[in-house]
Structure 1
Amino acid sequence: MALRLDGRPVGDVMVVQCIGRIVAGADVHSLQFLIEKVLPRHHEIVLQLERIEFIDSSGLGALVRLSSTARASGGDLKLCALPKPVRKTLEMTNLITLFEVYDSEAEAIVAAYLGPRFAKDKDGEKQLRILCVYDSADVRALLGEVLCRAGYRAVTTGNVHDAGILLKATKAKLVVLGANMQSVHGASTKKAMEEIDPAVSLVVLDEAFGAQEPGEAATKLLETIRSKTAGTAA
């Protein structure tokens, strides 16, 4: 089975689900190409290996090289959900300690945010952290940029599950939520966020936010955020 790679950004962390085999040839090249492509923007990468059937020497060597490349850029390549054969291979080669290995994707993402790269972000520590949850990648990009330029530390995601992980990891003080994401499978998103952090504030965007005039929409959002967070520490 040819290697399939599904990447999704979870805030500043890129999660890559790997399905199939990581072996010499096209599979190794496709993994290298993807990681090297996303590294300039996402220095922290999590490889989800739960559905990897086999990894050969070239594949393992590629992981070693990509880990070194990520660390040289100030980030890291973390592994999670290792199948028993892959874990056994890492243990037999004594490479298990070369990587940060986690049982679950969520643990790896949280570890990335608790790591030295984010801990050293002193400016980020002074800024109010805001989590944006919106299904449109274009609107997420706009929200992130507008909030950063307004002096906030913004992280974005396109689904509520990842939002829960990011809320735990970043300890954001406010969540900006798309109107169509107020519930998932009948469960209240507001309730889910408050179960993680009872003190978190929530701002729900208008249903037509994505089609509104950007300047007016951004101004209204920033005014709402300022009123919600007045006196709130980062």
Structure 2
Amino acid sequence: MIEFKNVVKKYDNNITATNNISVKIKPGEFVYVVGPSGAGKSTFIKMMYREEAPTSGSIIVNEYALENIKSREIPFLRRELGIVFQDFKLLPRLTVFENIAYALQVIEKTPEEVEQRVSRVLDLVGLSAKRDNFPAELSGGEQQRVAIARAIANEPSILIADEPTGNLDPETAEGIMEILEQVNKQGTTVVMATHNSFIVNEYKHRVLEINGGKIIRDEEEGVYSNEDANA
């Protein structure tokens, strides 16, 4: 489902963000991407949904070859993906329901489908009672739940989460993880970048550790520590 082969990403300032990365992520896996700030995690994540393009090497995501994908094909790739950002990226003037519905309306789902899917994902994230609230009326954890609901409303095959618990207190972060666990159990591949060693060690999954633009560790049910992050 996701395969990187000898992927190099160099920026204009001559910084090499990823250096000859090769890795496969199979359908249905839950994979943590860990490592210190500046290690190349965000670039690795962004290349999966073609926010960044590789300088060399090949990337396959759901049979799309991302190194030479045409611009007009990128929206179709992203329709198969759910993306969750640390800063939520909710539209402040839309209600919870409207924020999630908007993602479905863009891909021309019928009003009946929109109502059904939004109601289902709001129930999944425990926010059915807040469907008419605006983002400013929600806590940080509730906003992140809305962001997850929006990302999974179109039933993506892959969910990409970039530090989804980064700004949340431990209890709220655990609530977010319970949702991601449930999404994964329903068959969705989850790729999650995180600095949170407690989460990685409490909710056991495959761990990819990136440092200096290279994958330095790839372990099934690996562990992670703050010492690793500061190495």
Structure number with greater Rg is 1
TM-score by length of 2: 0.30
Q: Which has the higher contact order (CA 8 A, sep 6+)?
A: 2
- Normalised TM-score (structure 1): 0.30
